Homo-oligomer: A and B are copies of this chain.
Amino acid sequence: MPMHSFDAMLQLQPQCPAPAQAGDPLHYLAHTHAGYWNMVGPFGGATAALLLQAVLQHPKCQGDPLSLTVNFAGPVVQGAMHITATPLRTNRSTQHWLVLMHQRDERSGEELLSTSATVVTALRRPSLNAERVCPSSSAPIPAPENCPRFDTHGAMEWLRRYDWRGICGHLPTQWDDSPHDTLSQLWIRDEPARALDFVALAALCDVFFPRVWLQRARLVAAGTVSFSVYFHAEREQLAAHGTQYVLAQADAQVMRNGFFDQTAQLWDVQGQILATSHQIVYYKE
């Protein structure tokens, strides 16, 4: 079996020396993956997943992901990435991490910070629970099989790594400045299908096209500045989910003077929340 392209993208080679003490950083070498290329760099969700993987692969990592914040500080160029994961503090039930990703600037030879992330991992304990099952939608959610599949032939590489089944709030087909509601819902999974795990879930939280494109059907330059994921799923829910489709929803609250926000929720097929997510996105017009 050849390796799934998502796993190939996630390859991290630990660099000597390995961390000796609990608080020591671990340095990794990674490479951008052509299969997850976006317009001018990797799909942001792939970079987020890679930085999270750098934490999960650290031998001192305790617990499972609880929160992830990724700040996209500068362009990620094709080639080598130097990633350092440092445990900042280890408690009984939570652990706090800083992840920095640098790339060598071709002109200056300098190591430039491209992306930074903070991660909290946690050991979870049973408690009384409550949640909103399923999205608050005016219409019932159709099954994935009954939703039109987005044709990714000839699309940007990373789009072809997913199986997209739109429900509402599709990418506009006419860029005519007409007003649209900014809510999108879709079913999505890796293509080919791959069992859901925390890193894949992180990437899925960033699959939505920019809300500003939908708001008035206009294609403008846009790029995520800061992106956060709260993981509500635990191992058991992910294992039960397997390769099924994820129900994904995104919306925006405000677009103002070059930046808009995005809120997102991901559910499993039973309507149980997997993750909630937020981002602030640059746009230019």
Chain A residues at the B interface, C-beta cutoff of 8 Å: 66-67, 69, 71, 73-74, 88-89, 91, 93-94, 96, 98, 100, 112-113, 116, 118, 120, 122, 124-132, 215-216, 225-226, 228, 230, 232, 234, 253-259, 261, 263, 265, 273, 276, 278, 280, 282-285
Contact = CB atoms under 8 A, between A and B. Distances in A.
Closest 10 interchain pairs by CB?
A: A131-B254, A73-B89, A73-B96, A67-B226, A124-B257, A69-B69, A89-B113, A230-B280, A254-B273, A130-B255
Main secondary structure of the interface of A (DSSP, over half): strand
A118 B71 contact: yes
A68 B278 CA distance: 12
Contacts of A88: 73, 100, 113, 116
A124 B91 contact: no
B129 A256 contact: yes
Given A66-B259, A126-B257, A132-B253, 15 more contacts: A66-B225, A67-B71, A67-B280, A96-B116, A98-B98, A118-B226, A122-B225, A127-B258, A130-B216, A130-B254, A131-B253, A131-B255, A232-B259, A232-B261, A253-B276
A232 to B, nearest CB: 5
Contacts of A69: 69, 118, 226, 228
A125 B255 contact: no
A259 B124 contact: yes
Contacts of A261: 230, 232, 276
A89 B132 CA distance: 39
Given A89-B112, A128-B216, A278 B228 contact: yes
A74 B96 CA distance: 9
A259 B130 contact: no
Contact of A278 (B91, B230, B255, B282): B230
A186 B230 CA distance: 26
Nearest to A67: B226
Contacts of A255: 127-131
Contacts of A130: 215-216, 254-255
A280 B100 CA distance: 22
A253 B226 contact: no
Nearest to A257: B124
18 contacts: A66-B259, A67-B71, A69-B69, A69-B226, A94-B282, A96-B116, A120-B225, A120-B226, A122-B258, A122-B259, A127-B283, A128-B255, A128-B285, A129-B255, A129-B256, A226-B230, A228-B228, A230-B261
